[in-house]
Every structure is written in C-alpha cells, then in structure tokens.
Amino acid sequence: MENLVEQIKKSAAHLRSKISAEYGYGVILGSGLGNLTSQMKVHQQIPYTDIPGFPVSTVEGHKGSLIFGEMGGKNIVCMNGRFHYYEGYSMHDVTFPIRVMKFLGVHTIMISNASGGMNAAFEVGDLMIITDHIYLQPEHPLRGKNYDELGPRFPNMNQPYDPEMVKRGLAIASANHITCHTGVYVGVQGPTFETPAEYRCFHLMGGDAVGMSTTPEVVVARHMDIKVFAISVITDVGYPFEKADNVSHAFVLEKAAEAEPKMTKIIVELLHQI
Ligand code: HPA
C-alpha cells in the first residue's frame, strides 16, 4: 500500500500531465455556491472519478470536478463539489484534494460554505468572513503518522485565517454594499441540523456560524502552510430561537444560490488584489 505522500504525488502527477499552466490559487465551493464557476474562464475540467487517488463514492452517483481556469486575473483550481465527513469519507479522504493542490503549486486557498447563523446580528443571506474556528468534528485529519515533508506534527493554529485577506475582503464587501460580518465558524459532523439547545450552546461557546465542512480543510491547508481565506453564506438562522428558520437542505441550497453572486464578487475582487 502506498503511503500518503506517494498517493498525493501520483494524483498530482496525473493532473500535471493534463494541464499546461501553473495554478497558485485554490477555491473550494460550498453547497449551492457552484455558480461561481460561471465567472471562470475554464481551461480544463477533470471529474473526480478520473483522478487517481481521489475518494470514490460507494454510496451514490458521485459528482464533482476539479476546474482549472482563470478568474480575477489569476490562475485558479476550483473544487466544484467537496467531500464531507458525514458522507462516510475518512478525514484523510475529505482533505486529500487540498494536499494535491499544494503539490500542484497552490499557495493560497479560498474556501466557501453554507452555514447556520448563531449571532443575533446575522440575517439569512448575509456573509461572514471566518476569522477563527472551533473544531468539533469527531475525527482529526492529522491523526496518525505525520509526514514531515507535508508539515509539522503539531501545527500552530494561532492565526489560521490570513488577516490581510480578511481586511481586504471586508473592504471589498463594504465598497460593494454587501452585508458581511466577521466571526467564528463551528465545524460539526452533521448530517442533522442543530437542535435549538445545540445552536444556543455553540453560540454560548463563542460561535457565530455552524456548518458541516471547512475546518478539516483549513487544518490541512495550514499544516502545509497554505494561506487561507474562508467565507460563510448564512443560509439559515438557528439562534436566537425566536428568529430561527425551519431549516432543510432545500432551504439551504435556495438561500446559498441567492447569495452566491455577493460571495463571488468578493472572491473575484480579492483575487484581483492579492
Ligand atoms: N447547521 C449546520 N450546517 C449547516 C447549517 C446549519 O444550520 N446551514 C447550512 N449548513
């Protein structure tokens, strides 16, 4: 059995044989946010099923692709569709594409997600630039053998989200009259949405938004010293209870799609500026 580094190198070598440019920026698209790709000048689209080493779904027809192209004046590689722990993947599987991106030359990553608001100031459709997170998923992507060529055994998580990109993101939102907060993202397993007591608990522990992705990806990006910018679309409110939505997956997808152009605007402008 190949070790993790060999698997990453194999995937990266395969992708390199298909592409002819350098891609320094990664983008991960959250649920309902796929329309960002309509702003890309696409060079190449490669289904996950064609990439050796990428997780294979045993459960359902597996969609998603890596899209190589240009946006905001930069060459980007975009994950259109991500792997979630609740689907049954291991945390190594969930984060494998980020490892491969690093080996393709990605130094900066922009991560998006749909999430539930737990801050009284947040409304459905608002954006939140993530400034910190609380990792509450049940498995950690760095558990097990550490490969020193990937990163340190005990990574520092003192400043996981790049402060310069947070500042620029907020300024872009303000210049474009987009309501955009900053806050703490709580990463949970799912797939249930939270009970009222859970939303309140996460609020009390310091969370502003909760979702089922992102934190493992950020951990692995930081392990490999990739700079991170992350943004949540608030698709539903969970706390305070009086204004809580009766959330469903369809509701999340609908609200994410409505807010997607605002998020895309920020990401495109940010790519231009950095
Ligand atoms: N909770 C967890 N995950 C989510 C939510 C939520 O309220 N909304 C979108 N993803």
User: Which fold would CATH assign to domain 4-8+23-273?
Assistant: Rossmann fold (3.40.50)
- State in Å: Cα 59 to ligand 1 middle: 22
User: What pLDDT score does 141 carry?
Assistant: 98
- State in Å: Cα 54 to ligand 1 middle: 26
- pLDDT tens digit sequence for 23-39: 999 999 998 898 899 99
Quote the CA–CA distance of 36 and 51 in Å, as a whole number. 22
Judged against a pLDDT cut of 90, whether residue 216 lies above it is answered with: yes
pTM for the model:
0.96
Tell me which residues have their CB closer than 6 angstroms to ligand 1.
114-116, 190, 193-194, 210-212, 235-236, 238, 247, 252
Supply angle C-alpha 112, 45, 84, rounded to 5. 40
Judged against a pLDDT cut of 60, whether residue 138 lies above it is answered with: yes
Nearest partner of 112 among 214, 13, 14, 15, judged by Cα? 214
**Per-residue b/e over 73-92, b at no fewer than 16 CB within 10 Å?**
ebbbbbbbbbbbbebebebb
Judged against a pLDDT cut of 90, whether residue 62 lies above it is answered with: no
- State in Å: Cα 31 to ligand 1 middle: 10
What is the residue-wise DSSP string for 133-155? EEE--SS-TT-S---TTT--SS-
3-class secondary structure, 113: strand
pLDDT band with cut points at 50, 70 and 90 for residue 1: low
Q: What is the mean pLDDT of residues 6-20?
A: 96
- State in Å: Cα 40 to ligand 1 middle: 27
Nearest partner of 218 among 110, 56, 81, judged by Cα? 110
Q: Regarding beta strands 74-80 and 41-47, do their DSSP bridges make them parallel or antiparallel, or are they unpaired? A: unpaired
Q: Mark out the alpha helices in the chain (DSSP H runs).
A: 4-16, 91-103, 163-175, 196-204, 215-223, 249-273
Quote the CA–CA distance of 223 and 13 in Å, as a whole number. 21
Tokens describing residue 25: 């920026």
pLDDT band with cut points at 50, 70 and 90 for residue 61: very low
Minimum mean pLDDT range among 20-24, 54-58, 134-138: 54-58
- pLDDT tens digit sequence for 111-132: 999 999 999 999 999 999 999 9
Q: Which residue has the least CA distance to atom 2 on ligand 1?
A: 211
